[in-house]
Amino acid sequence: MTPALLELDEVSLSRGGRVVLDRVTLRVQAGQVTAIVGPSGAGKSSLLRCAVGLDRLDAGRVRVDGHDALELDPRVLRRRVALVAQHPVMLPGTVADNLAYALPAGAVDGEAARRSLERAGLDVSFASRVAGELSGGERARVAVARALTRDPVALLLDEPTAALDPARAAGVEALMRELAGLGLAVLVASHDVAIVRRSADAAVLLEAGRVTASGTAADVLDAWAGRPA
Amino acid sequence: MSQAAVGQVVVSVALVLAAIALSWRARIGLERELAVVSIRAIVQLTAVGAVVTLVFQHVGLAAAFVLVMLGVAAWTSGRRIRAIPHGPLLAGAAIGLPALLALGLLLAAQAFPATPRGIVPVAGILIGGAMAAASLTGRRLLEELHDRLDEIETRLLLGASAREALATPLRRAVTTALVPALDQTRIVGLVTLPGTFVGLVLGGASPATAARIQLTVLLSLLFVELTASLLLAHLVSRVVIVAGERIEVPQAQARYGA
Ligand SMILES: Nc1ncnc2c1ncn2[C@@H]1O[C@H](COP(=O)(O)OP(=O)(O)OP(=O)(O)O)[C@@H](O)[C@H]1O
Ligand SMILES: [Mg+2]
């Protein structure tokens, strides 16, 4: 097995005195779509936040390309491993401002913006729209485009299809496959069993902060379906 | 007692009694509170009057009085940022540094006499202004940190440093805190005649002298309030920025005081 691009090793996290993640181990391979499934509150979003150093781990280790994440500049880490949050927030200004935020001046030219927007399923005309006025589904896609302008090696998507109609959701599904095909590591937390079954190569089942099953998407989803509710 | 003193006592006491009667008549239920705050005001001002008489006679006591004012201001402002450890200390630094610096400059330039009568009122105005700015800054910054944490985290996620991610909330807090100082300066003489001016004119100074002194104080306050606001914002952000370009807002509950 090739070394994983993104690796969580025995990661534990507590928030507000409660254990949210309990010794979670997870490997995400480049060129694959890996899914995190599990009931609401299981810790899926928390796990993604830990992967980009937004929360301080109680224990465990995150590795990117074999390097301990703590030894990387967090700003560089968060561009290489880009997280699209469950409820993406638009920054003040236009969509173009959002795409270019915190990048060196000129890093996102018109061509780069067009490519990211189109990959995320948006017309290039969105670049000049005021970001705060977009619909929920449009925001979700701008957030994906915003992550892509950072040229990440891994893309972490938290419920990327929750705000989308079926056609747009299918677009995100196709995008995940396309990016994996380009060699990115894609990690997606999703409730959408059908999408996970179709698009994920591997999956883990997270329940109450613990990994309770891992393997192929089909096996993990079957294991989850077999649980008493 | 002079004619004026008799008039002051008679009219003000009569008005308070009228207010109490009105409250009773209209069944508002504020009679007791009206009486209590009136008596408190009499006691407090009489006490301060006595202390100020003493303070005005000894430079050492005047300096101590200024320190007490600073302490009260730091404590009051620190309560606004209760969630931040050592809030009163941070507020004391943010208030005291610019206020005492401006006071020192004014005294060095002999803009005011370096006597208790010169120092205490000017120090009071500068410390009071700095306290208002620090309180507003702290309160607004904590609101931003709490209500807009997801926006701040979005900036972090996009690769900004924690300092960069806090730049916008910080600017919002400072601009909000400066609104009263800016407006007070903008309308001076047109809507209100500020305290220093009124006091000086009533005390017998010519309106021209009074206006000059008032202007000195108002313009100094712009510097003092902006600096106090920036300092407090800076000190608070140093507390919430933690290793790994992360923001940690201490204990979500009891975030910003009443
Ligand atoms: N800031 C916080 N303080 C305290 N507890 C928190 C905080 N954030 C999350 N939690 C708790 O951590 C647990 C995991 O939350 P998380 O958001 O990771 O779940 P999730 O699997 O993403 O759920 P969902 O499917 O609903 O998005 C939950 O019990 C949640 O209440
Ligand atoms: Mg979640």
What is the pLDDT averaged over residues B111-139? 91
CATH number of the structural domain spanning residue A207: 3.40.50.300
The alpha carbon of B234 is separated from its chain's Cα centroid by a whole number of angstroms, namely 19
pLDDT in tens, chain A (229 residues): 567 899 999 999 999 889 999 999 999 999 999 999 999 999 999 999 999 999 999 999 999 999 999 999 999 999 999 999 999 999 999 999 999 999 988 888 888 999 999 999 999 999 999 999 999 999 999 999 999 999 999 999 999 999 889 998 998 999 999 999 999 999 999 988 999 999 999 999 999 999 999 999 999 999 998 876 6
Which residue minimizes the CA distance to atom 6 of ligand 1?
Answer: A15
Say if residue A187 is exposed, middle or buried (CB neighbours under 10 Å; 0-12, 13-18, 19+).
buried
Does A207 map to a domain? yes
Does A82 map to a domain? yes
CB B149 within 8 A of CB B247: yes
> Which range marks the domain in which residue A65 is found?
4-88+152-225
The region of weakest confidence among A116-130, B97-111, B205-219 is B205-219
User: Given pLDDT bands bounded at 50, 70 and 90, which one contains residue B11?
Assistant: very high
Q: How many contiguous H segments (helices) and E segments (strands) does chain B have?
A: 9, 2
How many domains does chain A divide into?
1
Give A 173-192 residues with CB within 8 A of chain B: none
Does A49 map to a domain? yes
Closest CA in chain B for residue A53: B244
The domain ranges of chain B are 1-55, 59-257
The alpha carbon of A14 is separated from its chain's Cα centroid by a whole number of angstroms, namely 21
Give pLDDT, residue B257: 39
Decide: A44 in ligand 1 pocket, CB within 6 A. yes
SS3 B249: coil
Partner-chain contact A53 B245, CB within 8 Å: yes
pLDDT in tens, B147-200: 999 999 999 999 999 999 999 999 999 999 999 999 988 988 777 777 777 777
Does A126 map to a domain? no
Does A190 map to a domain? yes
- Our CA-based measurement puts residue A218 at a distance from the nearest CA of chain B, in whole angstroms, of 31
Closest CA to B139 of B225, B54, B232, B212: B232
Closest CA in chain B for residue A102: B160
Answer whether B147 touches A (CB < 8 Å): no
Read off the tokens for A64: 């990117």
Measured distance CA(B75)–CA(B68) in Å, rounded: 10
Does A119 map to a domain? no
Does the pTM exceed 0.80? yes
- Our CA-based measurement puts residue A224 at a distance from the nearest CA of chain B, in whole angstroms, of 31
Does A209 map to a domain? yes
Does A103 map to a domain? no
Single-letter amino acid, residue B208: A
Answer whether B161 touches A (CB < 8 Å): yes
ipTM: 0.94
